[in-house]
Amino acid sequence: MIRWALLLFGGALLGGIVHLATIIILPRTATQDAYSRLAPIAPVNSVVSLPEPTPEKAIMPLMDPAFASAICRYDLSQGPMKLTVPIGLAYTSVSFYTDRDIAYYAINDRSAGRRAIELDLMTAEQHSEMPEDEEITAADRLIVESPTRTGLIAIRALAPEPGLMPMAKRAVDGARCQRTDLAKQSD
């Protein structure tokens, strides 16, 4: 009897280790996480608007149907990125996620304080490599440091009433994300 109780106890203890191990490994092995779901439809370094969620079809669970949204899947290995988002009529926000879908930064139209949200996205390494003089001209630019080389930028505009959805869509459709060196060439 004591022998079985000990075996049960040992099994439960081992179960605790299994539990912790699976929780920690899960994010690394998930194939249906948001980043993997979006990768096939979102080419790297460009803005793609997402279809509205419907009961039949939604690219991700728990999407807010009151928002028009777009995604920029970025890769900073070639250099920093530049993001420009025109502001919608009600509420516009830009959220940054790592390639493991962890939010590390968000900004909304009011905190941006202008008619468009403009910012530069780079890794900490690229930020430290930035020449000093450029840092000065960059004083009024917002710089966001990405903890990972790849990730997602979610651009979302609220339609306070269903009839305003086309306007919210237009706002997110006007968003641009581009590699900084390419953006300079096209100017």
Partner 1 sequence: MRLLFGTLFSLLVAAAVGLGTTYFAITRGAAFGALRIGAWTAWPKTGTQDADPYARAEIARTGRLPVALGDGLMFVARADDRGKRLDGRCEVTISGITPAARFWTLTLYNPEGALVPNSINRYAFTSQEIVRRGDGSFEIVVAPRASAGNWLPTGGIERYMLALRFYDTAVGVATKEGREVPMPAVKTRSCP
Site residues (CB under 8 A) for partner 1?
3-4, 7-8, 10-19, 21-24, 26-27, 30, 32-34, 36-37, 53-56, 58, 60-66, 90-91, 93, 95-97, 100-108, 110-111, 147, 152, 154, 156, 158-161
CB of 61 to partner 1, least distance (A): 3
Question: In terms of CB distance, is 6 or 182 closer to partner 1?
Answer: 6
- Kindly tell me the burial class for residue 176, based on how many C-beta atoms sit within 10 Å of its own C-beta (0-12, 13-18, 19 or more): middle
Question: In terms of CB distance, is 50 or 179 closer to partner 1?
Answer: 50
CB of 94 to partner 1, least distance (A): 8
Question: In terms of CB distance, is 26 or 182 closer to partner 1?
Answer: 26
Per-residue tokens: 94:
């830009």
Question: In terms of CB distance, is 98 or 180 closer to partner 1?
Answer: 98
Amino acid at 172: V
CB contact at 8 A, 74 and 175: no
Three-state SS at 146: strand
> E strands within the chain?
47-49, 67-75, 81-86, 92-98, 103-108, 116-123, 142-146, 150-158, 176-179
CB of 118 to partner 1, least distance (A): 17
Question: In terms of CB distance, is 60 or 116 closer to partner 1?
Answer: 60
- Taking 3-state DSSP, the helix, strand and coil percentages for the chain, each rounded to the nearest 5, stand at 40, 30, 30
CB of 148 to partner 1, least distance (A): 11
Answer positive or negative: Cα dihedral of 176, 182, 186, 187.
positive
CB of 145 to partner 1, least distance (A): 11
